[in-house]
Amino acid sequence: MELGTNFAAKLEPFLLMSKSAKGAAAAKLIQDATSAPGVFVFAELLEMPNIQELATNEQHAPYFSLLQLFSYRTYRDYLGIQDSLPSLNAAQITKLKYLSIVSLATQRRVLPYSLLLQELKMPAIRELEDLIIDAIYLDILRGKLDQKEQQLEIEYTMGRDLEPDKLENVLTALQHWASTTASVLDALDRKLVEVSMHHGAAQAEMESHEGICAANLKEVQDRQREVKTGPARKQGSFVASFGDGMDIDEPPLDSNVKIRNRNRGPSEAAKQPRKRNRF
């Protein structure tokens, strides 16, 4: 749920009563509305015809200015013009300080304690932190109290009423924000295209590298296979040729004697001297 979504409903009873309240009754209605718990937006009440009439009534004009104070301004503004306004009770002062924190949060996200103490005229940090914690519980803002750094880190705040003459400033700020956002998105798109192209080139380079590695690995495996199978193939061919030679050169069985005699050299009979006939 967004912050401040029930604030308009809290104002509804005062809008109904303002239709019939005039003069002093309308002034009293403003006092009641600015003091009532849970009522933090007042633009619709400020636009009611009977409330608008108070601005032209010298006696009740300060109450109209008081309602404008709660609609648009801060506690510091009140201190500068408090002599021209009705006196504020404790509930009104506390509520105006809540709204002042919301206005300060529109200018900066981190609010130092020193700034808040000065703007809200708080006497001590403990009271300031209690005020901030109550504002968080009332759904006026969301943030984190950093006691170490002595600051309030704002996350979200409710929206305050917008002064009619400030509309152009808001539109200008929104246009500037839209232009800045468009520039950032365009830069992000270009960066995404660059990243995509780089990724594609890196992917292609990786695939090429993997292909080269696979080819080199296959070549090494083929060479290792050739080294392992080469000697066996040569030995097998040698044995085959040697076997073929034996088949060709082997003499027949019946020539063994001749071979043996041939290898023995001259026969013993040849070595014996011949006998001669004596006459």
Q: What is the pLDDT of residues 53-104, one digit of tens each?
A: 999 999 999 999 999 999 999 999 999 999 999 999 999 999 999 999 999 9
Phi, psi of 186 (to 5 degrees): -65, -40
Contact 19, 48 (CB under 8 A): yes
Determine the pLDDT at residue 222: 84
Token duo for residue 122? 């708080």
What is the spatial distance between Cα 58 and Cα 64, in angstroms, rounded to a whole number? Answer: 10
Residue 109 has pLDDT above 70, yes or no: yes
Rounded to two decimals, the pTM is 0.65
Q: What whole-number distance in Å separates Cα of residue 239 and Cα of residue 219?
A: 31
Residues 119-162 have pLDDT tens digits of 999 999 999 999 999 999 999 999 999 999 999 999 999 988 88
Buried b / exposed e across 241-251, counting CB within 10 Å, b at 16+? eeeeeeeeeee
**Taking 70 as the threshold, does the pLDDT of residue 257 lie above it?**
no
| Single-letter amino acid code for the residue at 152 | L
Within 8 A by CB and 6+ apart from 37, the residues are: 91
The predicted model gives 170-180 an average pLDDT of 82
Model confidence at 265: pLDDT above 80: no
Q: Which of 114, 110, 113, 70 is nearest to 93 (CA)?
A: 70
Query: What integer is the mean pLDDT of 98-115?
Result: 94
Considering only residues 170 and 153, tell me which one the structure prediction assigns the higher pLDDT: 153
At residue 197, the pLDDT reads 87
Q: Report phi then psi at 208, rounded to 5.
A: -65, -45
Whose tokens are 């400033």? That residue is: 169
pLDDT digits (tens, 9 = 90+) for 17-55: 999 999 999 999 999 999 999 999 999 999 999 999 999
For residue 256, pLDDT over 60 is answered with no
Residue-wise pLDDT for 182-241, tens only, equals 989 989 998 999 898 888 888 888 888 888 998 888 888 888 888 877 655 555 554 444
DSSP structure string for the chain: --TTTTHHHHHHHHHHHHTT--THHHHHHHHHHHHSTT----HHHHTSHHHHGGGG-TTTHHHHHHHHHHHH--HHHHHHHGGGSPPP-HHHHHHHHHHHHHHHHTT-SEEEHHHHHHHHT-S-HHHHHHHHHHHHHTTSEEEEEETTTTEEEEEEEPPPP--GGGHHHHHHHHHHHHHHHHHHHHHHHHHHHHHHHHHHHHHHHHHHHHHHHHHHHHHHHHHHHHHHHHHHHHHHHHHHHHHHHHHHHPPPGGGHHHHHHHHH-S-HHHHSPPP----
Please determine, for residue 279, whether its predicted confidence score (pLDDT) is greater than 50. no
- pLDDT in the model for residue 242: 47
Residue 259 has pLDDT above 70, yes or no: no
Whether the per-residue pLDDT at 245 is higher than 80: the answer is no
Tokens of 184: 């950032």
What is the rounded distance in angstroms from the CA atom of residue 13 to the CA atom of residue 44? 12
pLDDT surpassing 80 at residue 254: no
Q: Cα dihedral sign for 50, 54, 56, 60?
A: positive
